[in-house]
Amino acid sequence: MKIAFLLLLLLPCVAPAQDIALLDRDFKNPIAVTQNVTAAQLSNKLFPVYTTDLDTMVRVLENLARAINTGEVHEPTMQLLPVGHSQFTINTERLGAFNTYAIYLSTRTGDLGASLELVKRGEGNRKALQNLFLLLDYLKNNRHLAEK
């Protein structure tokens, strides 16, 4: 029993660290993969996403774009969509006969956290879709770099 308890305590020291993809906040430079994120990297226009969450993030972005593109008018809401270690925050506001959105992506890695504004509050649906497709294309085009 004591040996099993000792092995459980040592497990975090032996388990391999998870890979983290560092995305360029402007979506122009390729994804870099690391196992440790520093505050300097985050202040250097990089945004962390766990590589295991990339496929789910692509599916969520596709669903968000599809929902915005329908043009349906929804009641004002705030949704939190967890995606592995990350989370999408979607604020929906109703302005007459249409909706506007504010969409944020946030990730915590250890004791560091980062947030990325994908869609600014009050922007039209066309601009919201454009911003979501920009990130979606970036992730799809660079995902192979994170799989190595």
Mean pLDDT of 66-77: 84
pLDDT tens, position by position, 38-60: 888 888 889 999 999 999 999 99
pTM here?
0.82
Calculate Rg over the CA atoms of the chain.
18
Give the domain ranges of the chain: 16-146
Distance CA 103, CA 110 (A): 23
Given this model, what pLDDT does residue 16 score?
A: 52
Q: Poorest-confidence range of 29-33, 71-75, 84-88? A: 71-75
Assigned fold of 16-146: Transcriptional Co-activator pc4; Chain A (2.30.31)
* Residue 111 tokens, joined: 């004791």
Distance CA 49, CA 83 (A): 10
pLDDT band at residue 15 using 50, 70 and 90 as cut-offs? very low
Distance CA 59, CA 136 (A): 9
List the one residue out of 107, 1, 128 whose CA is nearest residue 51: 107
